[in-house]
């Protein structure tokens, strides 16, 4: 902070008034980690061979192909009473993880009985690593014996972010591969911009004040794409306000009139975002949502591809399965996975970015609207 005081000068410099300038800087970094598990079969029966995942999804998960149906996770019925009447006799009971007998088959081919273990299967391992850096300055000046007061502000914000590496499962189909439990290599997303503000208050008379302010704002956000995988610019805004204030009857009556004008650009919130996100959830497995895999197009296409290959006596690898699903859905194969690609760049160091840091690198993450 620096203060230049000229109001006490005896020369003409006293009309230059007083000036106060202050600077600031801020640094933050935080990690947001999410891991989810599902109850699934964690033993290894013959109909769950190595190399298939034990999750409900019928598409590729964790680099493993599906088991050919939703056979590794249970669909449970919780009973509330007996078969006498339609009343509720007791609350549903919970169950514990462990080994249970399973009977399966049909009257034509007969029934089989075996013991299966129900345990925890990893179904998500995600996260965001974010680094925020801000610096700025504020200059306030008083002129003409405090009859004119001006304020100027500058702020520069930078946001660096990266996601967790794509989840991979071990060959048992339910254990997270420790090698994938890390941050994605190399690529960082960057959002940066300048925010400027300017304001003036003029007091020509003791009872009259005129003021005006203008500002443009920038909000660094995670790098994002629209549904066509085009980059979405950062949200920004502009604001202007003008006003007059009267102080009448020795402070007994105040009158203020303001005119505000605000403009927001590239907003990422709104109804269209919700609509498009739900539409994506209907088509693509990686988007998730409340749509059952039995009705999601990508999962259904995977079932059709596996059935087709089975009839031909073929076994599809995960890559071949994705290729066939993309043909059925008539979309590029990269649309089957959440976008996480971009030009390589050096990540910012924890204590500061190197001088030779390559600018404008980006890690894309899908955003459902502009």
| Dist CA 153 CA 134 (whole Å) | 13
| Dist CA 353 CA 223 (whole Å) | 18
Distances (CA, A) of 27 to 24, 128, 132: 11, 17, 6
pLDDT tier at 225, thresholds 50, 70, 90: confident
CB 58 within 8 A of CB 71: no
The number of distinct structural domains making up the chain is 1
More confident residue, 308 or 232: 308
Whether 198 maps to a domain, the answer reads yes
Q: Can you give the pLDDT at residue 351? A: 34
CA angle 204, 205, 209 (to 5 degrees): 70
Q: What is the pLDDT of residues 13-57, one digit of tens each?
A: 888 889 999 999 999 999 999 999 999 999 998 888 899 999 876
Q: By 3-state DSSP, what share of the chain in percent is helix, strand and coil, each rounded to 5? A: 15, 40, 45
Whether 52 maps to a domain, the answer reads no
pLDDT (mean) for 84-112: 86
Distances (CA, A) of 359 to 144, 218, 353: 45, 18, 10
| Dist CA 65 CA 69 (whole Å) | 11
Q: What is the pLDDT of residues 242-295, one digit of tens each?
A: 999 999 888 889 999 999 888 888 777 777 778 887 888 788 877 665 566 677
Q: Can you give the pLDDT at residue 148? A: 93
Whether 118 maps to a domain, the answer reads no
Q: Can you give the pLDDT at residue 281? A: 79
Q: Whole-number mean pLDDT of the chain? A: 82
Q: Is the pLDDT score of 76 beyond 50?
A: yes
Eight-state DSSP code of residue 315: -
Whether 283 maps to a domain, the answer reads no
Q: Is the pLDDT score of 368 beyond 60?
A: no
| Dist CA 301 CA 175 (whole Å) | 26
pLDDT (mean) for 219-240: 76
More confident residue, 59 or 291: 59
More confident residue, 119 or 265: 119
Q: What is the pLDDT of residues 151-181, one digit of tens each?
A: 999 999 988 888 899 999 999 999 999 999 9
Q: Which of 94-103, 137-146, 241-250, 347-356 has the lowest mean pLDDT?
A: 347-356
Q: What is the pLDDT of residues 341-365, one digit of tens each?
A: 333 333 333 333 333 323 333 222 3
Whether 355 maps to a domain, the answer reads no
More confident residue, 11 or 152: 152
Strand pairing class (224-225; 18-41):
unpaired
Give the pair of three-digit tokens for residue 254. Answer: 């105040």
More confident residue, 152 or 300: 152
| Dist CA 221 CA 192 (whole Å) | 9
Q: Can you give the pLDDT at residue 246? A: 93
Domain hosting 240: range is: 2-32+125-267
| Dist CA 329 CA 312 (whole Å) | 21
Q: Which of 80-94, 153-167, 300-314 has the lowest mean pLDDT?
A: 80-94
More confident residue, 314 or 75: 314
Whether 44 maps to a domain, the answer reads no
Whether 28 maps to a domain, the answer reads yes
Question: Any bridge partners for residue 159, and if so which?
Answer: 132, 191
Q: Can you give the pLDDT at residue 223? A: 65
Q: Can you give the pLDDT at residue 242? A: 92
Give the pair of three-digit tokens for residue 345. Answer: 């760049």
Whether 297 maps to a domain, the answer reads no
């Amino acid at each position: 902070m620096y203060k230049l005081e000229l109001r006490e000068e005896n020369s003409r410099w006293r009309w230059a008034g007083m000036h106060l300038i202050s600077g600031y800087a801020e640094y933050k970094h935080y990690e947001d980690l999410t891991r989810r598990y599902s109850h699934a079969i964690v033993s290894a029966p013959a109909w769950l061979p190595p190399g298939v995942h034990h999750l409900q999804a019928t598409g590729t998960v964790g680099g493993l192909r599906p088991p050919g149906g939703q056979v590794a996770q249970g669909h449970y019925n919780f009973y509330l009473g007996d078969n006498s009447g339609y009343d509720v006799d007791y609350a549903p009971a919970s169950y514990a993880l462990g080994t249970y007998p399973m009977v399966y088959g049909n009257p034509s081919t007969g029934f089989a009985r075996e013991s299966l273990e129900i345990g925890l299967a990893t179904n998500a391992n995600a996260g965001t690593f974010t680094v925020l850096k801000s610096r700025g300055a504020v200059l306030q000046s008083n002129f003409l014996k405090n009859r004119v007061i001006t304020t100027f502000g500058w702020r520069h914000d930078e946001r660096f972010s990266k996601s967790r590496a794509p989840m991979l499962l071990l060959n048992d189909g339910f254990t997270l591969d420790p090698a994938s439990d890390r941050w994605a290599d190399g690529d960082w997303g960057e959002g940066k911009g300048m925010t400027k503000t300017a304001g003036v208050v003029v007091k020509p008379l003791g009872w009259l004040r005129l003021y005006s302010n203008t500002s443009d704002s920038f909000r660094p956000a995670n790098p994002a794409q629209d549904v066509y995988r085009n980059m979405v610019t950062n949200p920004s805004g502009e604001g202007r306000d003008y006003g007059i204030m009267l102080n009448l009857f020795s402070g007994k009556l105040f009158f203020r009139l303001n005119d505000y004008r605000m403009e927001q650009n590239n907003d990422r919130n709104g109804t269209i975002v919700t609509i498009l996100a739900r539409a994506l959830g209907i088509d693509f497995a990686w988007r998730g949502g409340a749509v059952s895999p039995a009705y999601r197009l990508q999962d259904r296409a995977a079932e059709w591809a596996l059935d087709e290959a089975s009839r031909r006596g073929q076994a599809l690898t995960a890559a071949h399965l994705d290729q066939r699903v993309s043909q059925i859905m008539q979309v590029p194969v990269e649309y089957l996975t959440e976008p996480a690609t971009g030009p390589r760049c050096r990540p910012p160091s924890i204590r500061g970015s190197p001088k030779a840091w390559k600018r404008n690198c980006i890690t894309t993450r899908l955003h459902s609207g502009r």
